């Protein structure tokens, strides 16, 4: 079993949003925003020397989240495409947490 060095408290809220399994653009927006909050928490809990080596990866993930944030007022939103983008970001986020040895609350 893996040893975790940190615990991400906001991860519980992220998991709850994901587990709601609402397939709406609004839900994707909530998950996107919670991911940004989780990344902000990572920057607070991980020691600076370790965080420095992951800063490019974190910035790239934040950029992807910003670019993929759907416009709630756009009636032409393609949910499948939006879902694919958030799933990619979630995968990248979980990989980052594994690399940094961060436990995501359940």
Mind listing the pLDDT tens digit for each residue in 86-103? 999 999 999 999 999 999
Mind listing the pLDDT tens digit for each residue in 22-59? 889 899 999 999 999 999 999 999 999 999 999 999 99
Return the pLDDT at 76: 75
Return the pLDDT at 54: 97
Return the pLDDT at 1: 62
Q: What pTM does this model have?
A: 0.90
CA distance 28 to 79: 9
Return the pLDDT at 94: 97
Residue spans of the domains in the chain: they are 6-104
Mean pLDDT (whole number) for 1-21: 91
Mind listing the pLDDT tens digit for each residue in 51-85? 999 999 999 999 999 998 887 777 777 888 889 99
Taking alpha carbons only, the member of 47, 50, 44, 37 closest to residue 11 is 37
Specify which residues 8 forms β-bridges with: 104
Map tokens 């594994």 to a residue.
98
């Amino acid at each position: 079993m893996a040893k975790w060095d940190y615990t991400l408290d906001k991860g519980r809220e992220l998991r709850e949003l994901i587990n709601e399994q609402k397939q709406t653009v609004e839900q994707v927006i909530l998950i996107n925003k919670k991911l940004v909050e989780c990344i902000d928490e990572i920057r607070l809990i991980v020691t600076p020397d370790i965080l420095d080596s992951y800063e490019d990866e974190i910035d790239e993930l934040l950029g992807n989240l910003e670019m993929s944030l759907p416009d709630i007022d756009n009636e032409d939103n393609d949910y499948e495409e939006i879902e694919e983008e958030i799933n990619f970001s979630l995968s990248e986020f979980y990989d980052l947490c594994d690399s940094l040895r961060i436990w995501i609350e359940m």
